[in-house]
Structures are given as structure tokens and as C-alpha cells.
Amino acid sequence: MKKPALIAFASAAALGLAACGSSDDASEDAMADNVEMPAEDAMADAEAPVADADAMSETADAAGASEATAAEAADAAEATVADIEAAAEAATTNAESGN
């Protein structure tokens, strides 16, 4: 029962959508209403990018700074882990001794 109802609904929907469209001449080309000019024409007057040596050195400096920051963060994390392990060891020792 579900298949015939589904097929009937799909057929009715397809016919309804086909009936909604209108065109006086089927040979008309579809044109976008919001396109002002092709991209090639829009970029025709654009200048080529210029290499900036200072920008490249700033990028390299920033990369070196982030590597140093990452190394400092790793060292801090290792120190924190060592502190936690020492505290856990001390707690275990105190629990075993009955304090």
C-alpha cells in the first residue's frame, strides 16, 4: 500500500513542478540575472603581486617564535607531570606509613 501511494505522490509532485515553469520560447538561453561581467574581464586590470622580502623574514621570525613557545610549553608540561608524580608518590608513602 505504501509503494503505490508513494509513486502517486512523486508523480503528482513532478507534474506540479513541471507545470510551474513558464517560457515563451524554449530556445531561449538561460542567463544569470546577477552576473555583471566574467571573472576574466574583472581581473584584467589587476596588478601582479610583488614579492616582499621583509614580509618573508617576518614570517620566518614568527615561525621561530612559535617553535620556542611550543618548546617552553612542553618543558612546563613535563615539569607539571613530574610535580604530580612526586605528589602521588608522597601521598602513597604517607598512606602506607599510616599518617
Q: What is the pLDDT of residues 69-86, one digit of tens each?
A: 888 899 999 999 999 999
Q: Percent of the chain at pLDDT above 90?
A: 15
Q: Is residue 48 part of a domain?
A: no
HEC profile of the chain: CHHHHHHHHHHHHHHHHHHHCCCCCCCCCCCCCCCCCCHHHHCCCCCCCCCCHHHHHHHHHHHHHHHHHHHHHHHHHHHHHHHHHHHHHHHHHHHHHCC
Q: Is residue 83 part of a domain?
A: yes
> For residue 92, is pLDDT > 70?
yes
Q: How high is the pLDDT of residue 61? A: 59
Q: How high is the pLDDT of residue 76? A: 93
- Residue range(s) defining the domain that contains residue 88: 63-94
Q: Please write the tens of the pLDDT for every residue from 28-57.
A: 565 665 556 677 777 778 777 777 766 666
Q: Domain tally for the chain?
A: 1
